[in-house]
Amino acid sequence: MTETPIADPAEDGRRQLVIVTGLSGAGKSSALNAFEDIGYQVIDNLPLTLLSDLLNEMMTGDDRRPIAVGIDSRTLHFSPGQFTEAVQGLRTRPDIHLHVLFMDAADDVLMKRFSETRRVHPLGEGKLLRAAIRQERDLMAAIRPVIDGLIDTSTRTGAETRRVVLSRFAAHQSPDMIVTFMSFGFANGVPRDADLVFDVRFLRNPHYVPDLKPLTGREEAVANYVRADEAFGPFVDKVTDLLGFLLPRYQAEGKSYLTLAFGCTGGKHRSVTMVETLAPQMALDGLAVNLYHRELSGDEGR
């Protein structure tokens, strides 16, 4: 495990603080491990009553590494109101740049994870597992207004969750917004962590061409077939124009991460080609870009 210190993210010298919260079983441990790998000082399951004193002590030391703190329903005397109040107080501090990261996953996925690991849910005493998950979701819903970012791990492995954290936080020294272009299949559901969703099922479908069906949108034959659709070029132009309008405004509002999801039926042909077309164009414009093809087996994003 590497522990290379990284630069403070804010130009004004404030210290980066990430509070990692969310649902039990949704990948908070994977996220915190990723933060540790990129040089953050990591503290997990910290009582909220100790957070202010701990930060005061850490801010006076010589170690200027960014900080990641895990706080969730396991925390002693946790309450949504107390959490919200603490976050609002931290946002007024001139020495801290705060980001609240919420880890989420679908109920059925959480049930499967708890069943496979045989772990007891933190709120599970005397309750059925599904009831405990629902109770925690209801509890944590109250803090949604103060979160800054969400990672949905329903379809992500631990390695993929780590990749998302690295892509968002390992480059904090850059002031530019980081934009993730994601392909997905509507057959497997819309990504819950997408900020903008585009449906490209209007393009002609390589699935019905026998020679193209087993291939993906990354391969030239499929890409050429999709791009030959007369609607492809105009759609790319319109999306590019829309992003040119939206991105500066998102940045002006302080948004650091944006996920653009492009979906087709299965998530292997049209949406992949669209992402592979748009992302390089945005990168050439100086945008910090990540790619993630959700439905391609073993794909870790790039």
Q: Which of 169, 187, 211 is the C-terminal boundary of a domain? A: 169
Residue 106 shares a structural domain with residue 49: yes
What is the rounded average pLDDT for all residues in the chain? Answer: 85
> What percentage of the chain reaches a pLDDT higher than 90?
51
Residue 66 shares a structural domain with residue 193: no
Give the tokens for residue 253: 């509002």
Residue 25 shares a structural domain with residue 158: yes
Decide if 6 is inside a domain: no
pLDDT in tens, 254-288: 677 789 999 999 999 999 999 999 998 888 777 77
Decide if 251 is inside a domain: yes
pLDDT in tens, 31-44: 998 898 888 999 99
Task: Say yes or no to pLDDT of 199 above 60.
Answer: yes
pLDDT number for residue 171: 53
pLDDT band at 174 (very low <50, low <70, confident <90, very high): very low
Residue 158 shares a structural domain with residue 199: no
The 10 Å CB-count burial string (b at 16+, else e) for 59-74 is eeeeeebbbbbbbbbe
Residue 186 shares a structural domain with residue 221: yes
Contact 203, 226 (CB under 8 A): yes
pLDDT number for residue 300: 42
Task: Say yes or no to pLDDT of 163 above 60.
Answer: yes
Residue 163 shares a structural domain with residue 140: yes
pLDDT number for residue 233: 95
Residue 197 shares a structural domain with residue 256: yes
In angstroms, how far is CA 212 from the centroid of its own chain?
32
Choice among 66-75, 130-139, 167-176, 270-279 with the minimum mean pLDDT: 167-176
pLDDT number for residue 288: 79
Residue 267 shares a structural domain with residue 191: yes
Q: Distances from the Cα of 168 to the Cαs of 64, 97, 149, 176, 258, in angstroms? A: 20, 15, 10, 11, 10
Decide if 21 is inside a domain: yes
Decide if 187 is inside a domain: yes
Contact 259, 197 (CB under 8 A): no
Decide if 47 is inside a domain: yes
**CATH number of the domain enclosing 76:** 3.40.50.300
pLDDT number for residue 213: 95
Tell me the residue range of the domain where 85 lies: 15-169
Residue 98 shares a structural domain with residue 238: no
pLDDT in tens, 103-140: 999 999 999 998 887 788 888 777 788 899 999 999 99
Q: Which of 106, 134, 169 is the C-terminal boundary of a domain? A: 169
Residue 60 shares a structural domain with residue 164: yes
Residue 130 shares a structural domain with residue 82: yes
pLDDT number for residue 31: 92
Measured from the Cβ of residue 288, the count of other Cβ atoms closer than 10 Å reads 17
The domain tally of the chain equals 2
pLDDT in tens, 147-157: 998 999 998 88
